[in-house]
Amino acid sequence: MLKENSREKRNFKALIETDGIGRVEDRLNVIDVFLNTEDHITLDDFMSLLNGKGYNYDQEFVKLCLNRWVELGFAQKEVFEGQPPRYEHRHLGKHHDHLICTKCGMIIEFQSDEMEQLQERIAAKAGFYILQHKMEIYGLCSRCAAARSDLMPLTSTKTGEEVYIRDVVGGGNAKSRLISMGFSPGDRLEIINNDGEGRLIVGRGDSRLALGRGMAENIIVSPDRQGMERGLKGHPRRRRRLWGLF
């Protein structure tokens, strides 16, 4: 990796020198710090990392460096849903995809020849020539999934999730209103949009419903059981814990 880093740095230096953009040493310092992190790093995180190394460059300059680094093909800028842009190394001839936890933001890289070949076959069947692709799978990491309780209010669900209604509660006329809207235990709901504020959009059967957060608090749901078990197959200890809860 070290050899690769210094090769990339030399390659970058040659390219920016022909650019004639100046501050070459500063740019190389920025790149040096970037090459020494293996994370998917946001600009803010990267600024703190630079400060920690004693560099006090202004954010605009750093951003320009990173963006130039992306243009020249040394780094990749990723924009995952619900997160600020992140930068990561881009190694020529290597490709990977991402699993993204929508709770804690954790990013897990994966590489699957099987998946890549399947995509080639799907495209070939459609007579489609692939230039590039990105695969992003959103969900909960093993830790966030295991920390989740079986019963939760609808407001704690995540966009894209499938849940089942376990109970409808609420004082005043909240409960009867929800029941008159047709929400009842056992119903399957698809969370179309829950961005943590404002109304929730849920799918029930073939209709979409908008619910205020106050009302949604009164619908108690549990996550899609089979889905959680499938996702936790690699973690027998956590699976047992979940079984205990169901």
The binding site for Zn ion (CB under 5 A) comprises: 88, 97, 101, 103-104, 106, 109, 135, 141, 144
Cα 106 from chain centroid? 7
| Choice between 66 and 168, CB closer to Zn ion | 66
| Choice between 91 and 188, CB closer to Zn ion | 91
Minimal distance in Å, beta carbon 24 to Zn ion? 28
d(CA 218, CA 155): 9
Minimal distance in Å, beta carbon 106 to Zn ion? 5
| Choice between 81 and 109, CB closer to Zn ion | 109
Minimal distance in Å, beta carbon 140 to Zn ion? 6
For 135, the 3-state DSSP assignment is coil
What DSSP state is assigned to residue 39? S
Question: Shortest CA distance to 137 belongs to which of 80, 222, 77?
Answer: 80
Q: Are 233 and 146 in contact (CB under 8 A)?
A: no
Q: Are 182 and 204 in contact (CB under 8 A)?
A: yes
Minimal distance in Å, beta carbon 103 to Zn ion? 4
| Choice between 1 and 104, CB closer to Zn ion | 104
- Report the C-alpha dihedral over residues 10, 11, 15, 18, rounded to 10 degrees: 50
